[in-house]
Amino acid sequence: MKVGGLLASAGINIGLCVLFLSLYSILRKQPSNVKVYFGRRIAEERNRLRDAFILERFVPSPSWIVKSLRCTEDEILDAAGLDAVVFNRIIVFSIRIFSLAAILCILGVLPLNYFGQDMLHVRIPSASLETFTIGNVQERSRWLWVHCVVLYIISVVACVLLYLEYKHISRLRLCHISRATSNPSHFTVLVRGIPKSSTESFSRTVQGFFTKYHASSYLSHQVVCKVGKVQKIVSGAKKVYRKFRHFKGTAVDQRCRSITFQCCFCGASSNSFQLLPIDFEQESEIPNVNDSSFSSTDEECGAAFIFFKTRYAALVVAKILQTSNPMRWVTSLAPERDDIYWSNLWLPYKQLWIRHISTLGGSIVFMFLFLMPVTFIQGLTQLEQLQQRLPFLRGILEKNYMTQLITGYLPSVILQIFLYTVPPTMMLFSTLEGPISHSERKKSACCKVLFFTIWNVFFVNVLSGSAISQVIALSRPKEIPMQLARAVPVQATFFTTYVLTSGWASLSSELMQLFALTWNFIRRYILRMEEDDLLYSFPYHTEVPKVLLFGLLGFTCSVLAPLILPFLLLYFCLGYVVYRNQFLNVYCTKYDTGGLYWPIAHNATIFSLVLTQIICLGVFALKKSPVAAGFTVPLIIFTLLFYQYCRKRHLPLFKTFPAQNLIDMDMEDQQMGRTEDLHHRLHNAYFQFPDTDDIPLEGVHSVGRDEDGSGTSGESSRKESADDELSHPTLDGLPVSRLRNAVRSLGSVLRPQRRELAV
């Protein structure tokens, strides 16, 4: 691939990014899209926005970039939780380390690679990208020590930054635990594998076991019930409630007439409804779903939530082995109420190991099936092989612009299209494993997507060829470093275009929210549906692997092919702005793992560093530079020792809660007199159906109409309340109500008046 193809790919992606950013700055100002781009803020404020014509709505502006850059880490922590801060710190770490790598490699390594051999250098746009890689350096070159020194600097600085980030996030996690003084999950233990008795129910079995062995700290318990039909009824009732939610606090006309209008494009007719009188006697006879008559002992599951008097007691019970049979009375700290994945609590605990093995096998099979499209894509980057296999394309490939398009842009686009199927598939596998919480399911999917992308995007493209040859290559582990050393500099051009197409384009689509924007348009203008909440949680299982994969590409190509670093650095800088904007405005956080994504990022970064050092060791051996190869071996050992130190020093804080902090929180509760209140809240904290209470609709009141057709006081109060609504979040301070009144006054003046003629 030539530099012209890379520039063509860069030009296409830069144009698309500028177009998407301009469209985003306009679309975010439209009142019809406010729930797409400000879903989290609207969920907090619960105010409807006016629809007013303002010229500023249709002019692109960089104000959202300024607001994202001014936002502090504390604001992100309050708005989106600790997981969002961890994701932001991953991007900050990438910006810091690759800024240093870009300066060192572009100024020091790139000229040595370009002038590594005595050759006739053509114009740079016509030059091959391989002349900018370490493959262009002569064997036994005395300048290879520069590559070794740069590798040392990047590795040492990366370890120092990793340690500082690990220390900072560990401190934030401790603060996150200490601030959650009223979190009921600290007092709750989930027990699974409860033995079934023919004479007693699960509830009596649990009570008998914990009152016997944990009598001093046991408080109460709640058995999980498998009541799928009731859950469907509850979910249906919640949907109905959302339909009538806008009636609360408004006036409803009892004398509304039946109106017939055409429904959208289908041509059918729809009649308006009439409000029926409410029979309070019938309403009082509605059965309560919270009643114990809905739960049956036959529907109880072998899982229960156990509540303890102190946090320390719950921690001790969760971590120790309860019986000599590890498959019975299995305890763990309970997740938060909104984080529980209820349907997996019904699964028998003995099935989990079978599910783990099955999902692991399914993931491996899916990973190898994905080799077929990757192998086809890799063939597009090699014109000689493509012309041999498809001779009818020779005439097309002789054209310069077609060559640049096929080799520089098309392979990455096709690979990105196939990769869109990976996160949903891995999420399905993670669900089948049987996790007890949504965050655990998403974290498991994150690891699966990360392994999948590293294997299929990096290793499969590097070890190019058929699937059989790749398996044969992996069967000889001793030859893998040498094969990687030969292939990585060659495939660096594909990785550069992949950063452009996958990285920049994904940030643009993330900012535009194409799926939510399309669904919002269909819902409003085609289906004619009422307003609905478009609230989504941040897809960590998709974005975290993507950022870590780009970090892997940056580390492995920094010394060998440094031309990728400017494009990669621009991706991280743009991602820093985009993701902060999304955390503040779009995504709604329902549950938080407490920073558990950082150990995944730390392990992936260490893997990237070690892999880079091994590849450089192989390259130095191929270039017959024993000094550079010899100095690389201690660097690998140092990196592995650093990784082991971080595992011993910081990783235990992410696996469990420190007893010292929990005991201090228990003592503080006793001194402040909050213990009884916390114990009282535990009884209803993990109720399976918290939304089944009767929904009060006292805010809905009916009004009639006067004889002259004017509305009563209810309608006037509704008009007055309309003036109290907020303006659009991006148009702060604009006098919308004054502009509207001025337009109305001007219209009344210009409207022609009808004059009655005298008889």
Encode pLDDT of 614-646 as tens digits. 999 988 988 888 888 899 999 999 999 999 999
Token digits for 594? 């407490």
Residue-level pLDDT at 152? 95
Check whether 110 has a pLDDT greater than 60: yes
Average pLDDT over residues 405-422: 72
In which residue are the tokens 């621009």 written? 570
Highest mean pLDDT among 2-11, 126-135, 382-391, 581-590: 581-590
Residue-level pLDDT at 732? 47
Check whether 381 has a pLDDT greater than 60: no
**Lowest model confidence (mean pLDDT) among 89-103, 407-421, 711-725:** 711-725
Residue-level pLDDT at 41? 67
Q: For residue range 449-465, what is the model confidence (pLDDT) as tens digits? A: 999 999 888 887 777 64
Residue-level pLDDT at 488? 82
Average pLDDT over residues 336-341: 90
Q: How confident is the model at residue 758 (pLDDT cuts 50, 70, 90)?
A: very low
Token digits for 14? 């830069």
DSSP H helical ranges for 433-564: 438-453, 460-462, 467-474, 480-498, 505-512, 514-521, 540-558
d(CA 38, CA 559): 42
Beta bridge partners of 304: 191, 223
193: alpha, beta or left, given left = phi > 0 and alpha = psi -120 to 50? left
Average pLDDT over residues 368-387: 65
Average pLDDT over residues 602-610: 96
User: What is the DSSP track for 192-242?
Assistant: E-PPP-SSS-HHHHHHHHHHHHSTTTEEEEEEEE--HHHHHHHHHHHHHHH
Backbone angles phi, psi at 711, to 5 degrees: -80, 160
Check whether 260 has a pLDDT greater than 80: no
Q: Residue 588 half-sphere exposure, CB side, CA atoms within 13 Å?
A: 17
Check whether 131 has a pLDDT greater than 60: yes
Residue-level pLDDT at 134? 84
Residue-level pLDDT at 533? 57
DSSP-derived pairing of the beta strands 251-253 and 701-703: parallel
Highest mean pLDDT among 78-92, 294-308, 407-421, 707-721: 78-92
**Lowest model confidence (mean pLDDT) among 63-77, 102-116, 480-494:** 480-494
Check whether 248 has a pLDDT greater than 70: no
d(CA 37, CA 583): 11
Token digits for 161? 């930054």
pTM of the predicted protein model: 0.77
Query: Residue 559 CB: number of other CB atoms within 10 A?
Result: 27
Highest mean pLDDT among 35-44, 292-301, 409-418, 437-446: 437-446
Distances (CA, A) of 178 to 220, 655, 663: 24, 16, 11
Tell me which residue of 652, 591, 607, 711 sits closest to 250, measured CA to CA: 711
Residue-level pLDDT at 286? 43
In which residue are the tokens 């000094």 written? 627
Average pLDDT over residues 239-256: 52
Q: Beta-strand (E) ranges in 238-371? A: 251-253, 260-262, 269-271, 300-308, 330-333
Average pLDDT over residues 525-549: 80
301 neighbors 223 (Cβ within 8 angstroms): yes
Average pLDDT over residues 643-661: 93
DSSP H helical ranges for 586-724: 597-622, 626-649, 652-655, 659-672, 675-685, 713-722
Please name the residues in contact with 220: beta carbons below 8 A apart, sequence gap of 6 or more: 307, 682, 683
Query: Residue 474 CB: number of other CB atoms within 10 A?
Result: 13
Instruction: Identify the residue with better confidence: 306 or 374.
Output: 306
Q: How confident is the model at residue 706 (pLDDT cuts 50, 70, 90)?
A: very low
Backbone angles phi, psi at 305, to 5 degrees: -100, 125
Residue-level pLDDT at 234? 62
Residue-level pLDDT at 410? 66
Check whether 295 has a pLDDT greater than 50: no
Instruction: Identify the residue with better confidence: 593 or 18.
Output: 593
Average pLDDT over residues 178-202: 89
Q: What is the overall mean pLDDT for the chain? A: 76
Percentage of the chain lying above the pLDDT 70 cut: 67
Beta bridge partners of 724: none
Please name the residues in contact with 759: beta carbons below 8 A apart, sequence gap of 6 or more: none
Instruction: Identify the residue with better confidence: 69 or 125.
Output: 69
Distance from the first to the final alpha carbon of the chain? 91
Residue-level pLDDT at 551? 95
Kind plus residue range of the DSSP H or E element containing 427: helix 422-432
